Structure formats: structure tokens, C-alpha cells
Chains A and B, each alone.
Chain A
């Protein structure tokens, strides 16, 4: 059974940093691209970033480019999102998602339960 468990969310002040983690199990982690998608309170889904199975290819939404870094440790079956220079508009539930293939151009067939990030002074 595929399981994705996010952690690391919480309250941060503007300008601060947070690191999200997503522990994966139930599939061959290194064989699939992984994504982060967020959802602000009462709003729609917003794609944040994707990383290929090997970690060699990464892509970012313009809204987070230069501030967020996606990475993965295939030996630990864990996905990360380092979030720096946080802004109020980064407040959202952050979902970790397993993509359908090793490349970073497909949909996501499994999603975690999400972790809430609140940026406020």
C-alpha cells in the first residue's frame, strides 16, 4: 500500500524558513517523480515543484522559484521541500504526491494527507 506522510509544517514568521519532509513507502521510491502541491485556505490547488526519480531534474512554479528547493534522498525514501524567505502568501496546506512515472511531466496518483504551513507575524 502506497503511503505518503508529510511533516514539518507549522507557524513561521515572514522571512523565516521551514523544511517539509515526506516519508514514502509501499513503492519503489527512486522510480517515480515526486511533486509538492499546495492549497491556500479556501482556494484551489497550486503546483509548487516536481523532482525526477533520480533527483537530476527539478522544476518550480514562478511563485517559489529562488526561494524553495525540492530534493530527495532515495536511500531514505524521503522527499523534502526547503522553504526560505517565507511570505504570508505561502500559507497553505502542502501536499506531497507521487507521480505516475519517472519523468516529471505526468499526473500524480497518490497524495499525502498534507501539512499546514502558516506564515504570520
Chain B
């Protein structure tokens, strides 16, 4: 079965750039999606189809996807961005989530 691998945790200082990776076999040939989830809340879509931001998502969130790796980049990270982030892709009639990355802003 298809797997997506994310680092368990990423730390970043306020105002700096955070990059969260998601790795999977030939992931660049599929669309990647990214979700943000804060404690006690439902997930929020922050990037769809590799690079697109839904309305209401700040411009500091961006995405890329090539080869075997999709990357979520948060520029000028703010304290409010501290959350769990999950990547997602579709493969062989199933949806796959990465294990999630806890972003700490310190």
C-alpha cells in the first residue's frame, strides 16, 4: 500500500520560514494536499493540488511537489501557525494521509 512519510516534528522561530516535507513514491505524479489541525479543532485545508491556497488562507502558506517529495512552506511563521500538519494524496482508489508533523514555533 502507498505510504506518505512526514517528519514527526519541525521547530521554527517566529518570523522565520518553516518547511514541512512529505515523501512518497513518485508523489510528484500525484496531487498533494495539506491540512492544518490545531488542538481540539477539525482539520483545515491549507494547500490543494500541490500549490493552490483556498480562500482565506494567508499568502505565507505555499506548496510544491516534485519527484518523491511535496513540501509545505510557511514564510514569516507566526505563533498562530503552531499546529499539526498532514499531507494527503490519492493512490489506487484510496486516500492516504501522512503521519503528521507537529510544528512548534519558539
User: Interface code B50-84, partner A: CB below 8 Å = 1, 0 otherwise?
Assistant: 00001000000000000000000000000000001
A109 contacts B97, C-beta separation under 8 Å: no
Nearest Cβ distance between residue B72 and chain A, in whole angstroms?
13
Decide yes or no: A106 and B48 within 8 Å by CB, A44-B99, A47-B96, A95-B42 being known contacts: yes
Contacting A at CB under 8 A, from B1-57, are 1, 31, 33, 35, 37, 42-45, 48-49, 54
15 A-B residue pairings within 8 Å (CB atoms): A35-B95, A44-B98, A45-B35, A45-B86, A46-B97, A47-B94, A47-B97, A59-B94, A100-B48, A105-B31, A105-B90, A106-B33, A106-B49, A107-B33, A108-B43
A76 CA / B85 CA spacing, docked (Å)? 33
Interface size of B in residues (CB-CB distance below 8 Å): 24
Chain A contacts of B54 at CB under 8 A? 109
Which one of B1, B88, B100 contacts A107 once the chains associate, using CB atoms below 8 Å?
B88
Chain A contacts of B90 at CB under 8 A? 105-106
A interface vs B, CB < 8 Å? Answer: 35, 37, 44-47, 50, 59, 61-62, 95, 100, 105-109, 111-114
Chain A contacts of B100 at CB under 8 A? 44-45
Chain A contacts of B99 at CB under 8 A? 44
